[in-house]
Amino acid sequence: MSKAYEMKRPAYDAVARTLHWLTVLLVAMQFVIGWTMPDVHKDTQPVNLIAWRLGAGATLVAVMTIRVIWRMTHWPTPDELRPLLSVVSRITHVLLYTALVLVPLLGWINASSRGWTVRLLGVVPYPELSEPGSAFGHEMGDVHSILTWVLFTLIGLHVVPALFHRFVLKDDVLQRMLPRAKPSRDQV
């Protein structure tokens, strides 16, 4: 193939890219549902929007489990950022992964303490992670709410630079997470 038609390969494989955008969809759903659902009280039943929240949260736990395993066994090609930026980017990714595992897990613990069963896609039941009415489950619910805002901040610190690279610097960083990269400048 001549160099002019050679496409720069994305840094992340198809599974990693699918898991990334599936995570984005599920997290976006969680924020929208979280902001629109009714307040939760002692006798609230897990129906309607709350049922959707539990179903999406359970799916997020499953997706993140697969994602962490995939990431530890399939490394992306290294980025071409300056060393300091590359370290900052990697630290942000590690913090994002940590928040993405902890936030739904703590939500699940809190749901168990309310006597709610968390089900994958609303069908397959997950085990209970705390005793109904337990103080531990209640406290983990508080930590869950705080970490949600930490996750929201981390997403901002991740998305704004990604869009800055795409629309201001016009480099190939965003292409690393898209199906097929456009030819790099020296290839056209």
- Chain residues binding ligand HEM by CB under 6 A are 11, 20, 23-24, 27, 71, 76, 79, 89, 93, 96-97, 100, 155, 158-159, 162, 173-174, 176-177
Q: How far is the CB of 71 from ligand HEM (least distance, A)?
A: 5
Q: Which residue is nearest to ligand HEM (CB)?
A: 177
Q: How far is the CB of 56 from ligand HEM (least distance, A)?
A: 13
H-helix or E-strand spanning residue 119: strand 119-120
| Contact yes or no for 107/57 (Cβ under 8 A) | yes
> How far apart (Å, rounded) are the C-alpha atoms in residues 188 and 174?
19
Q: What is the number of other CB atoms lying within 10 angstroms of the CB of residue 142? A: 11
Residues linked to residue 135 through DSSP beta bridges, in sequence order: none
Q: How far is the CB of 99 from ligand HEM (least distance, A)?
A: 8
Q: How far is the CB of 158 from ligand HEM (least distance, A)?
A: 5
Q: What is the number of other CB atoms lying within 10 angstroms of the CB of residue 154? A: 19
Measured from the CB atom, is 62 or 174 closer to ligand HEM? 174
| Contact yes or no for 130/137 (Cβ under 8 A) | yes
Measured from the CB atom, is 103 or 129 closer to ligand HEM? 103
DSSP state of 76: P
Measured from the CB atom, is 75 or 121 closer to ligand HEM? 75
